Amino acid sequence: MNSEKLLASLSYASDETEFYAPMPAGYKPGKTKYVFVFGTVMSGLGKGIFSSSLAKCLKNKGLTVAPIKLEGYLNVDSGTLNPYRHGEVYVLDDGMETDMDLGTYERMLDQDLSRVNFATSGQVFTRVLEKERRGSYLGRDVQMIPHVTGEVKIKLRELAVASDADVVFVEIGGTVGDVENAYYIEAAREMAFEEGANSCAFVALTYIISPPKLGEQKSKAAQLGIRGLLAVGIQPHIIACRASEPASRKVMEKLALYSNVPIDRLFSMHDCDSIYVIPDMLRGAGMDDAVIDILGIRDRVHPENETRAREAWTGFIQRLRTPTREIRIGMIGKYTSVRDSYASILHALEHAGAAVEARIQVVWIDSTDITDATAAKALAEVDGIIVPGGFGVRGTEGKIACIKCARESGIPYLGICYGFQMAVIEFARNVCGLTDANSTEIDPDTPHPVIDILPEQKQIEGLGGNMRLGGRDVLIKPGTLAAELFNNAPETRLRFRHRYEVDPQYIERLEKGGMIFSGKAPDYPIMQILELPTSKHLFFFGTQAHPEMQSRPLRPQPMFHGLARAALVYADRHGRSQRPTSPAATAAAATNATAMQA
């Protein structure tokens, strides 16, 4: 039976058949191909970076791509996850709270994603249980196979319909052998069977260990990992060997023999200094071509598109690699030991740094013990500061002390979300004379609750689901720094994730004191951007949004770009123009960086 006939025969649910694979309306068999990326041996190998880099190679060739991350955990979204353990919660324009890998995809592909690009076991099971309650399974006992795996296939095909992509990139969370991801892997196997030949490319990411005492690379762990995939019916087409040093020919030959994968479909990937060079390395090694051959889509490739895309990207990498200056930005926070919780900010700084041809060194400043008396010393060496988003009480007074110091001494300041709220509190206390002004998140009994819970959130209780989330339009006040940063556009769109906001009854008082609210929501009196006049301060800027989630390598987010430019001016004024550039790449560049060698 050919795959179209097979697919047609599966398109119904009944108690007579073992199949359950309803096709979403509009699904065109054969139009969308699938690349599945599996982890073996261990997690933390940079599967998302790898998968997004491969997707970028295909996008460069003029193909439309759509990524999806399949998470094994039972949380319905990532909103309730602790950033200490899991890294930042990334918010998409439609308000979906996701794993930080979605940020990697958005940045690498320069593509806005939505909830169709993210699934968790919590979502999958919720849908299955809802259908069970509605009687959609026609009296059958509801099973992992075919119903739960069926739901995964529906999700993948829905993405194919929604994106009309040539290739859907499916990143399966965790590693083969994990109980919680097993049904995703089974769904991948079923997809390849149903969609037919040349429909799916299976890519296994593995790890070659080199025990220091032995002084040589060993392939056994990788063999066992691949065997784990073979045991569940997945014959990989491509194996990507992660390693600290280039994987040797000998080790790859051994792995080829044990895995039935021809040696030219094994690729060595070793650590490197920047994630942004990986797409070119994959291309140089021929992995993108291998995928195109496996999927039989060479006729969809546009080489001239690739030349253009690569030129622009190479320019970015050059600017990143050969900075002429160095500036230091202080990151003030309490999570400073967990850099993954600031991943998007680090990337946004890297993009802004490339745009101004400067290396931005991030200086981590723990605010817990900072006071008005010690702030100036803590900030003595930096050319600008960021107070990033956050929750809870700890470290807030230290942040406020740093903001006061930045405002009074002219250090460029960018306040993000909580950092915006802290700037309002500081200004209310020290400029407007509102003694003990605070946020009710920090002090519910404050005499001046300049930051308070959103009226529309007041009724909602519980942890999940009560934040203002996702993209919102922002009206920009003409003639302000915000207007300048956004090229005099009357409005822009920013992404939000907050529960508290400026209490409207204090706006007039704050404005009288000299604070400018240069970005507002069009529908409610919600203050979204604040600034001080540039005649008074080089760069004092804050936003209730999370602009870091919209920064892209070739399109640095304007607020970060503005901070970088101001930091350069500040460094000049303080005689730091000649500071040599240090060789180390920024933390963001090195995070999970992988390299590849043919």
Give residues in contact with ligand GLN (CB under 6 A). Answer: 389-391, 417-418, 441, 497-500
Q: Which helix (H) or strand (E) holds 90?
A: strand 90-91
Alpha-carbon span 386 to 420, nearest angstrom: 10
CA distances for 77 relative to 114, 119, 323, 375, angstroms: 13, 8, 39, 38
Dihedral, 316, 331, 478, 514 alpha carbons, nearest 10: -160
State in angstroms the smallest separation of the CB of 58 from ligand GLN.
34
Beta bridge partners of 474: 492
- Residue 91 Cβ vs ligand GLN, minimum distance, rounded to whole Å: 9
* Spatial CA neighbour of 510 closest among 454, 585, 570, 428: 428
Shorter beta-carbon distance to ligand GLN: residue 15 or 461 = 461
Shortest Å distance, C-beta 180 to ligand GLN: 28
d(CA 22, CA 25) in angstroms, rounded, equals 9
Torsion sign (Cα): 433, 434, 439, 442? positive
User: Which of residues 498 and 565 has its CB atom nearest to ligand GLN in the complex?
Assistant: 498
Residues facing 399 on adjacent strands: none
Minimal distance, residue 308 CB to ligand GLN, in Å: 37
Distance separating alpha carbons of residues 590 and 598, to the nearest angstrom: 21
Nearer to ligand GLN, 67 or 470 (CB): 470
Cβ-based nearer residue to ligand GLN, 127 or 499: 499
CB 360 within 8 A of CB 353: yes
Q: How far is the CB of 390 from ligand GLN (least distance, A)?
A: 5
Distance (Å, whole) CA 83 – CA 345:
14
Taking the complex as a whole, the smallest distance from the CB of residue 435 to ligand GLN amounts, in Å, to: 22
Least Cβ distance, residue 543 to ligand GLN (angstroms): 11
* Integer Cα distance of 463 and 37 in angstroms: 33
Cβ proximity to ligand GLN, 429 vs 498, nearer residue: 498
Q: How many CA atoms lie within 13 A of 361 on its CB side?
A: 15
> CA–CA separation, 410 vs 536, rounded Å?
9
Q: For the CA atoms of 64, 198, 45, 67, what is the dihedral angle to 10 degrees?
A: 30
247 phi and psi angles, rounded to 5 deg: -70, 135
498 or 520: CB nearest ligand GLN? 498
In terms of Cα–Cα distance, which of 442, 428, 424 is closest to 502?
424
- Find the shortest distance in angstroms from Cβ 52 to ligand GLN: 25
Closest distance of CB 111 from ligand GLN, Å:
24
Please give the helix or strand (H or E) that residue 365 lies within, else none: strand 358-366
Cβ 439 to ligand GLN, closest distance in Å? Answer: 7
Q: Is the Cβ of residue 359 or residue 546 nearer to ligand GLN in the bound state?
A: 546
Beta carbons within 10 angstroms of residue 300's beta carbon? 16
CA distance 18 to 140: 10
- Work out the burial of residue 52: count CB atoms within 10 Å of its CB; fewer than 13 is exposed, 13-18 middle, 19 or more buried: buried
Residue 467 Cβ vs ligand GLN, minimum distance, rounded to whole Å = 7
Cβ pair 47, 37 in contact under 8 A: yes
- Nearer Cβ to ligand GLN, position 341 or 430? 341
**Active-site residues: which are they?**
417, 546, 548
228 versus 449: smaller Cβ distance to ligand GLN = 449
Local structure of 403: helix, strand or coil:
helix
Other CB atoms within a 10 A radius of the CB of residue 22 amount to 17
Phi (first) and psi of residue 102, to 5 degrees? -65, -30
For ligand GLN, the closer CB: 52 or 421: 421
Of 38 and 418, CB closest to ligand GLN? 418
User: Which residues make Cβ contacts (< 8 Å) with residue 133, sequence separation at least 6?
Assistant: none
* Spatial strand order in the sheet of 65-71: 118-120, 65-71, 167-172, 33-39, 200-207, 238-243, 266-270
217 contacts 247 by C-beta, under 8 angstroms: yes
The residue whose Cβ lies closest to ligand GLN is: 389
Q: How far apart are CA 103 and CA 475, in angstroms?
A: 25
